[in-house]
Amino acid sequence: MKLSVKIDGRTREVEATREGSRLRWRLDGRAVEADAVEVAAGTYSILLGGQAFEVRVQASGDGLRVHAGGQEFSAAIVDPRAWQGRHGHTVEVEGRLQILAPMPGKILRLLVKQGDLIQAGQGILVVEAMKMQNEVRSRKTGIVEKLLVVEGKTVNAGELLAVVT
């Protein structure tokens, strides 16, 4: 996926390509080592250069408001038809969804049980990382096929937590 994004008046080219289960990022043609996971609607955990950031994105009348590292930026997708998440709607995943740990941490609470019927955007569990509680949500309406963690378990980033079908 390629997007032109205007951030505080400056246009940047962002490209994401999937290699197996991993996304590869390019910013203005340069490779960037980054991992990004949506931990709640409009809230992302981003690991960039070994540092973790929480980024909140909100729709606004003229595009997006991005809150990161105590700063706020305006952003707009240059070709909004290319942006599948516009207007704050979650794009629902089709097929089998594997929910992975967005970051290393400890499972504080399970919000569903195996066999539960859930809606897209519904919380599955809460992970504590760096003294912050992060609700991990499903991007698919379906049934919790597998729940592979228990409360109190420590998990690594990318570890399989649950499967929704």
CA distances to 14, 17, 73, 100 from 21, in Å: 19, 10, 30, 10
Identify the weakest region by mean pLDDT among 13-17, 89-93, 146-150: 89-93
Are residues 77 and 126 located together in one domain of the fold?
no
Are residues 113 and 59 located together in one domain of the fold?
no
Using CB atoms within 10 A of its CB, is residue 40 exposed (0-12), middle (13-18) or buried (19+)? middle
Distance of CA 122 to the CA centre of its chain: 14
Other C-beta atoms closer than 10 Å to the C-beta of 124 total 21
Are residues 38 and 76 located together in one domain of the fold?
yes
| Rounded distance between C-alpha atoms, residue 16 and residue 23, angstroms | 6
Provide the mean pLDDT of the chain: 82
pLDDT reported for residue 151? 96
Are residues 6 and 49 located together in one domain of the fold?
yes
Other C-beta atoms closer than 10 Å to the C-beta of 162 total 22
pLDDT in tens, 130-142: 778 888 988 888 9
Are residues 15 and 69 located together in one domain of the fold?
yes
Task: Identify the CATH number of the domain in which residue 34 sits.
Answer: 3.30.700.30
Considering only residues 41 and 112, tell me which one the structure prediction assigns the higher pLDDT.
Answer: 112
Number of domains into which the chain is organized: 2
Please determine, for residue 152, whether its predicted confidence score (pLDDT) is greater than 90.
yes
What value does the mean pLDDT take over residues 96-117? 91
Confirm whether pTM is higher than 0.85. no
Query: Which residue range is the domain that position 123 belongs to?
Result: 97-164
